[in-house]
């Protein structure tokens, strides 16, 4: 049962530890996912800022534009307005229009350039050479798209990396390109005026935690912008996913993201540690409770076994003297025994068996009383010297008849304690009975009283069989008996010492034992001093004097 319980608790704990780690990982991953989506949002923002100035194109009917430009050399008004606005945007350096029939890659070719000073289009052959590259790309793409499917939009945008944006104007009716609006891009503005501020806005030091972004030019392996200058770009730190600007926009750039050990991860880790500590305590508590329950159950089991044994024993013990008394009484009442000597013998039998029975019943009553908390004490000042003197004088004959040498050492001061005299006698007689029962060849009993400033100690020592050390802690428990050969021969129920302990404690004292196998046993009863007497105070070292026993002492009276 214990093993099963332990297994269940350990299995539950292990499961919990795993799920706590899992939750932490999921939370961290979730947080990383959130940061990644934020980076994608940033890119959408960048794209929008580039496209927005030209978004009006979609609403313009482009077919007449070809005719208008060819005839006037200018953009029609509805287009011109948007172009003028775009020309004010610092992201764009220049705006050009190349009719489909003109190849800007050819030397000396003239295309339309937007004049920023008068907002007019004018034919020029002074245009940046990158126009040629952009237009080649744009033409190729436009041709593919116009040929491959039914193209539905009136324009087609193609970037030459970060250099040019080329918008093909499409005559949808004839499914052909009219010409290309080319916008040369200002790299510095795009990087430092647009992307870098957005990076800092989306991932400021306060909100980014440990997320670091780098705008990376992978072609030249160059970092163009970052939200955290303190962290150097390191490919090993970078998450596998990259955020791109689109299929052709800034094609050699992407945003690389690194999730460093950030404050959020630290927070999740702290939560994990906190949960693990709580779990640890719960685990220890459960194990403790389980062990406690287990040992309590074991104790209860041992107690009920001892109790069962005791009941069987006690029934026998009660029946035996009764049977003897019954038989002896019968013989006498039948008139079968008339001889005075035999009659006296029968009388003695009945008497001694009655005494045995009475002792037995007294013991049971004592246990029952202390179990139910009904043991009442009648405390009064008792002189331990006088108590011992009286007890020894009363029991001397009995003890010596059992073949024991008896010695008594009293304190030279007046050791007063506050206790119930009957209880003390009961204690002494239990311990004396044990000393007699558990001695074999070496038969000595010593009673002594020792005093110090705080307490009065009554020792009852014997030189008997002793109690093995391992039993000391249980010896005062109810029904506990040491299993050995002598015990088998001695009668007892394991109640005497529990009664002793109970009574000593009821009277404000405590009892301990010192015992060694085959050397002997001493039971020490300690009681608080009622009045610390002067002589005791002066005598730090207790001197014990041997006194003779006076039959006629004041205690006895
Ligand atoms: P009982 O004597 O009826 O068995 P007790 O409670 O008086 O019950 O004693 C419990 C056990 O302690 C005894 O069975 C015995 O093994 C041991 N014991 C008690 N007193 C002594 C002693 N003076 N010397 C050796 N063993 C003792």
pLDDT for 22: 85
Return the CATH number at 308.
1.10.287.130
190-199, 255-264, 340-349 — which is least confidently predicted?
Answer: 255-264
Write down the pLDDT at residue 548. Answer: 34
Both 511 and 463 in one domain: the answer is yes
What domain range is 304 assigned to? 299-369
The yes-or-no verdict on residue 92 having pLDDT over 60 is: yes
The structure tokens 């000396």 sit at: 108
Q: In this structure, is residue 92 part of a structural domain? A: yes
- Single residue among 369, 395, 415 that ends a domain in this structure: 369
From CA 503, how far away is CA 505, in angstroms rounded? 5
- Domain co-membership, 448 together with 535: yes
Residue nearest to atom 9 of ligand 1 (CA): 494
Does some domain include residue 541?
Answer: yes
Residue 427 lies in a domain: yes
pLDDT of residue 550: 33
Q: What is the pLDDT, as a whole number, of residue 553?
A: 36
Task: Tell whether 338 is covered by a domain.
Answer: yes
Check whether residue 399 and residue 351 sit in a common domain.
no
Let me know if residue 127 belongs to a domain. Answer: yes
Instruction: Note the pLDDT of residue 374.
Output: 67
Atom 23 of ligand 1 has which residue's CA nearest to it? 435
Q: Tell me, using a 6 A CB cutoff, whether residue 493 lines ligand 1.
A: yes
364 shares a domain with 384: no
pLDDT at residue 142, rounded to an integer: 87
User: Does 180 reside within a domain?
Assistant: yes
CA 386 to centroid of ligand 1, rounded, Å: 26
Q: Whose CA is nearest to atom 3 of ligand 1?
A: 492
Residue 57 pLDDT grade (very low, low, confident, very high; cuts 50, 70, 90): confident
- Please report, for the domain that includes residue 171, its CATH number: 3.30.450
Both 344 and 473 in a single domain? no
Task: Check whether residue 359 and residue 453 sit in a common domain.
Answer: no
What's the confidence (pLDDT) of residue 541? 39
User: Which contacts qualify for 477-483: CB closer than 8 Å, 24 or more apart?
Assistant: 477/303, 478/303, 478/306, 478/367, 479/303, 479/306, 479/307, 479/309, 479/310, 480/306
- Measured in Å, residue 523 CA sits from the centre of ligand 1 at 11
Asked whether residue 447 falls in the same domain as residue 413, the answer is: yes
- Report the pLDDT value the prediction gives residue 520, as an integer from 0 to 100: 96
What is the CA(493)–ligand 1 centre distance, in A? 9
Which of 40, 488, 421, 58 lies closest to 246 in space, CA to CA? Answer: 40
- Judged against a pLDDT cut of 60, whether residue 184 lies above it is answered with yes
Same domain, 457 and 549: yes
How is residue 72 written in tokens? 């006037």
- Ligand 1 center to 494 CA (angstroms): 7
Residue of the nearest CA to atom 25 in ligand 1?
Answer: 466
Q: Does residue 331 carry a pLDDT above 60?
A: yes
Chain segment 5-51, per-residue pLDDT in tens: 888 888 988 998 898 888 888 877 777 888 889 999 999 999 999 99
Token pair of 125 as six digits: 């052959």
Pocket test for ligand 1, best of 435, 492, 503 (most atoms within 8 A of CB): 492
Find out whether the beta carbon of 366 lies less than 6 Å from any atom of ligand 1.
Answer: no
Identify the domain boundary among 185, 203, 238: 185
**Distance (Å) from CA 546 to ligand 1 centroid:** 28
Between 553 and 519, residue with greater pLDDT: 519
Q: Do 318 and 461 fall into the same domain? A: no
Mean pLDDT of the 110-128 span: 91
Domain boundary among 323, 347, 369: 369
pLDDT of residue 554: 35
- On the question of pLDDT at 533 being above 80, the answer is no
**Percent of the chain topping pLDDT 90:** 44
Instruction: State yes or no: pLDDT of 543 exceeds 50.
Output: no
Same domain, 316 and 169: no
Instruction: Give the pLDDT confidence of 495-513 residue by residue, as tens digits.
Output: 889 889 988 998 999 999 9
Question: For a pLDDT cut of 70, what percent of the chain falls above it?
Answer: 90
Distance 4 CA to ligand 1 centre (A): 38
Higher pLDDT: 378 or 252? It is 252
Phi/psi of residue 153, nearest 5 degrees: -105, 155
The verdict on the CB of residue 502 being under 6 Å from ligand 1 is: no
**Which of 242, 238, 267 shows the shortest CA–CA distance to 253?**
242
Q: Which ligand 1 atom lies nearest to the CA of residue 480? A: 10
Question: pLDDT tens, 301-322?
Answer: 887 887 776 677 667 767 877 8
Cβ contacts of residue 272 below 8 Å, gap of 6+?
20, 21, 23, 24
**What is the number of structural domains in the chain?**
3
**Residue 523: pLDDT above 70?**
yes
Report, as an integer, the average pLDDT of 159-181: 90
Asked if residue 467 has its Cβ within 6 Å of ligand 1, the reply is yes
Same domain, 319 and 401: no
For the chain, what is the mean pLDDT? 85
Is 236 a domain residue?
Answer: no
Biggest CA pair distance of the chain: 167
298: pLDDT strictly greater than 60:
yes
Determine if ligand 1 sits within 6 Å of the CB of residue 517.
Answer: no
**Quick one: pLDDT at residue 313?**
65
CA 374 – CA 371 distance, rounded (Å): 8
Strands 176-185 vs 92-99: parallel, antiparallel or unpaired? antiparallel
């Amino acid at each position: 049962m214990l093993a099963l319980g332990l297994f269940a608790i350990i299995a539950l704990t292990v499961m919990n530890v795993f799920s706590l780690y899992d939750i932490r990982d999921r939370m961290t991953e979730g947080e990383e996912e959130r940061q990644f989506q934020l980076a994608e949002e940033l890119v959408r923002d960048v794209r929008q800022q580039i496209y927005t100035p030209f978004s009006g194109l979609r609403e313009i009917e482009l077919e007449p534009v070809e005719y208008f430009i060819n005839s006037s050399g200018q953009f029609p008004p509805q287009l011109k307005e948007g172009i003028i606005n775009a020309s004010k945007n610092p992201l764009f350096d220049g705006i050009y229009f190349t009719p489909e029939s003109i190849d800007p890659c050819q030397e000396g070719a003239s295309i339309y350039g937007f004049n920023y000073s008068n907002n007019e289009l004018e034919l020029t052959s002074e245009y940046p050479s990158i126009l040629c590259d952009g237009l080649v790309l744009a033409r190729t793409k436009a041709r593919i798209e116009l040929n491959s499917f039914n193209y539905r939009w009136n324009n087609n945008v193609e970037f030459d990396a970060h250099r040019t944006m080329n918008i093909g104007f499409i005559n949808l009716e004839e499914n052909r390109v009219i010409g290309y609006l080319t916008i040369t891009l200002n790299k510095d503005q795009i990087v430092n005026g647009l992307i870098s501020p957005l990076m800092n806005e989306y991932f400021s030091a306060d909100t980014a935690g440990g997320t670091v972004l780098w705008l990376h030019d992978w072609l030249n392996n160059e970092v163009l912008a970052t939200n955290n200058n303190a962290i150097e770009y390191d490919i090993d730190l970078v998450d596998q996913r990259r955020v791109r600007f689109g299929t052709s926009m800034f094609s050699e750039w992407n945003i690389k993201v690194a999730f460093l050990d950030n404050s959020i991860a630290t927070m999740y880790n702290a939560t994990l540690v906190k949960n693990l500590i709580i779990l640890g305590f719960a685990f220890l508590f459960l194990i403790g409770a389980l062990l406690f329950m287990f040992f309590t159950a074991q104790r209860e089991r041992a107690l009920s076994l001892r109790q069962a044994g005791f009941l069987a024993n006690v029934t026998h013990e009660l029946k035996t003297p009764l049977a003897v008394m019954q038989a002896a009484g019968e013989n006498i009442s039948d008139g079968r025994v008339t001889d005075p000597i035999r009659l006296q013998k029968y009388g003695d039998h009945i008497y001694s068996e009655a005494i045995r029975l009475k002792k037995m019943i007294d013991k049971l009553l004592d246990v029952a009383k202390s179990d139910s908390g009904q043991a009442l004490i009648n405390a009064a000042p008792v002189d331990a010297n006088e108590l011992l003197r009286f007890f020894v004088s009363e029991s001397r004959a009995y003890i010596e008849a059992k073949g024991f040498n008896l010695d008594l050492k009293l304190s030279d001061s007046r050791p007063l304690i506050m206790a119930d005299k009957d209880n003390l006698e009961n204690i002494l007689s239990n311990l004396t009975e044990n000393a007699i029962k558990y001695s074999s060849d070496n038969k000595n009993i010593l009673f002594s009283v020792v005093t110090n400033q705080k307490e009065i100690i009554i020792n009852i020592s014997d030189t008997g069989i002793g109690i093995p050390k391992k039993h000391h802690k249980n010896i005062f428990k109810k029904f506990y008996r040491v299993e050995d050969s002598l015990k088998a021969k001695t009668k007892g129920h394991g109640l005497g010492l529990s009664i002793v302990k109970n009574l000593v404690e009821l009277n404000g004292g405590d009892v301990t034992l010192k015992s060694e196998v085959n050397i002997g046993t001493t039971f020490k009863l300690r009681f608080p001093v009622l009045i610390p007497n002067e002589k005791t105070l002066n005598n730090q070292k207790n001197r014990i004097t041997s006194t003779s026993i006076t039959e006629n002492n004041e205690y006895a009276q």
